[in-house]
Structures are given as structure tokens and as C-alpha cells.
Amino acid sequence: METIRRNILQPIKDLWSLIVGLKVTGKYFAMKQVTVHYPRQVIDDENLKTYAGHIELVGKPKDPCMPRCISCQMCATSCPSGCIKVTKQKAPKPTPEQQKAMEEAKAKGEKVKKPAAPKNPAGFMLDYSLCSLCGTCVEVCPVKSLRFSNDIYLVGTSRDDFKFDLLERLRSQAEPRCDAPASKKQ
């Protein structure tokens, strides 16, 4: 019985496996090619929209140079790779007149309200060389201030080439509409 299985049934199973494999290969051989021969060809806009590259900030609808980000740090806390660093802005120092008025109000027993820090971040850095592209930062953002970029032709010669100042990148993308100069790279 063992010789029949080894000499007749096993070759039939092997031949069937070969036929199934050739059928799959033939199916994809006849299909239209989906890869692109860069740099002779470029990705069309329809396919570029589906690409999820590194993250970038989304500007406000009325002021595209100002990010929607409220510096809540949810993206940085949820990032498993630790590649996002958000720096909050400091509260402005009160002028001497404001300081004097606050002291007088405090002396009267009134509740003094100190100037609040602006919600938009002072710095938003991404180390793309550490990013695992999990997309958790985009999902947890409460104000939808992050999205994936379509920057498909990203190259560099060192790890520092993949450290992005996303605030500067946002301003450079909306530069014709920005009045304020771009901040210095941190």
C-alpha cells in the first residue's frame, strides 16, 4: 500500500500542485502591469492620493499657515515609536501695566486671570527615521490636524534628512498665503 501511495498518488498530487501554481502565475502574467518604472514614469494623481507617507500638519481653513493643532500631545503620547515631539507655547508675560493691575486686583481680593498660552504649538518635530507608519497619531488627533502626506519621492543621505519640522513644512506649503516669515528650524 505504501509503494502505491509513494509511486502513484504522490506524483499525481505533485502534478496537481504544479498545475495550480502555473494557473496562478499565468493569471498574473496576463494582467496589466501595476509597477512603475521610475524615473521614466511617475505615479498618476489618482494613485498618489492613496499613498500614505509621513505625517504632516493640516492648516486651518481660514488661515492655512496656522495649524489646527491644539498642542494636546495626544499624538506624541500615543506614538509607539516616540518619533513625534510637540512643544507648547509659553504664556505671554504680562506688561508692567497688566502686572500692576493684577496686583491691585489681587489686593482687593478679586480673582486674577493670568494670560493664557496660545493653543497652537511652538514646535512640531517628526523623526521619520523612527516612524513605524502605524497611523495611531492620525487616528487619535481630536481636531484632525494630522494627515498622511503624498510625498512619494522622498530621498536622503543621512538620518537627519528625515527629521522634519512640520510647522515649517506647513508654512512652506501655504507660503503664498502666509504673511509671517517661516520659523527657524529646531
**pTM score, whole prediction:** 0.69
45-179 has which CATH code?
A: 3.30.70.3270
Q: What is the pLDDT of residue 175?
A: 78
b/e code 129-141 from CB counts within 10 Å (16+ = b): eebeeeebbeeeb
CA Rg value for the chain: 28
Q: Which residues of the chain have pLDDT under 70?
A: 177, 179-186
Sign of CA dihedral 125, 129, 132, 133: positive
What's residue 183's pLDDT? 47
CA dihedral 82, 83, 87, 88 (to 10 degrees): -60
Q: Where are the domains of the chain?
A: 45-179
Apex 75 CA angle, 119 and 83, nearest 5: 115
Output the average pLDDT for the chain.
89
Instruction: Tell me how far apart the alpha carbons of residues 158 and 166 are, in angstroms, rounded to a whole number.
Output: 19
| Residue 179 pLDDT | 61
Strand partners, 84: 126
How far is 121 from 114, CA to CA, in rounded Å?
19
Render pLDDT for 82-106 as a digit per residue (tens, 0 to 9): 999 999 999 888 888 888 988 898 8
Contact of 58 with 162, CB cutoff 8 Å: no
Preceding peptide of 181 cis, ω within 30°: no
